[in-house]
């Protein structure tokens, strides 16, 4: 599990560390993201039954959805400068057709409200991570629905882990 997490974190870092001209704000956002990752724990994921209810979930396959993903994920930071730095960092994510990661955005009542990631390694398994929701009254329910949806998508892969 630790190797899978390390690969996911390296993939996330690489969008800045391997960029030719990263912005200072994106580098600050990366540092904030990395600090948050150290406070998370990983466990084996239990299979979830998923019944769509509040969210319409879409894979991030274009830059406008990347921006929506970034805004939702960055809502975990209250400080506006930190929030902006995390958005700047996350909007630098680039996808290739064979990318090991897939980001998802969940829309609630037509607006982006939740996000999450599946990171897959054929030898190590799949990691469900980076689940977040906007700070709304239904925040916990939106996070749970995103988690369950991603676990359901990844059930064919084994083993399955999640970061909380």
Which token pair is 145?
Answer: 């629905």
**What values do phi and psi take at 122, rounded to 5?**
-60, -25
Q: How many CB atoms within 10 Å of residue 31? A: 15
Please state, in angstroms and rounded to a whole number, the distance separating the CA atoms of residues 136 and 133. Answer: 8
Question: Residue 1: which of 125, 100, 99 has the closest Cα?
Answer: 125
**CA separation for the pair 67, 118 (Å, rounded):** 18
Question: How do the pLDDT tens digits run along the chain, 164 residues long?
Answer: 889 999 999 999 999 999 999 999 999 999 999 999 988 777 776 666 667 788 999 999 999 999 999 999 999 999 999 999 999 999 999 878 789 999 999 999 999 999 999 999 989 889 999 999 999 999 999 999 999 999 988 876 566 676 65
Q: Is the pTM for the entire model greater than 0.95?
A: no
Task: State how far the Cα of 119 lies from the Cα of 85, in Å rounded to an integer.
Answer: 23
- So where are the chain's domains? 2-19+42-163
| pLDDT on residue 84 | 98
- Whether the CB-CB separation of 35 and 157 falls below 8 Å is answered with no
Task: Give the CATH class of 2-19+42-163.
Answer: alpha beta
What pLDDT is recorded for position 53? 83
Give pLDDT, residue 42: 73
């Amino acid at each position: 599990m630790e190797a899978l997490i390390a690969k996911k974190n390296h993939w996330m870092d690489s969008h800045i560390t391997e960029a030719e001209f990263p912005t200072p704000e994106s580098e600050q956002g990366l540092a904030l993201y990395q600090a948050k990752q150290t406070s998370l724990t990983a466990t084996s994921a239990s299979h979830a039954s998923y019944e769509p209810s509040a969210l319409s979930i879409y894979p991030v396959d274009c830059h406008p959805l990347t921006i929506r993903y970034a805004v939702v994920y960055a809502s975990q930071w209250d400080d506006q400068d930190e929030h902006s730095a995390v958005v700047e960092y996350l909007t630098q994510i680039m996808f290739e057709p064979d990318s090991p990661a897939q980001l998802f955005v969940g829309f609630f009542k037509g607006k982006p409200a939740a996000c999450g990631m599946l990171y897959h390694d054929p030898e190590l398994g799949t990691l469900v991570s980076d689940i977040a929701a906007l700070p709304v009254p239904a925040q916990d329910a939106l996070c749970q629905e995103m988690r369950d949806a991603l676990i359901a998508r990844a059930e064919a892969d084994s083993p399955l882990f999640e970061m909380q």
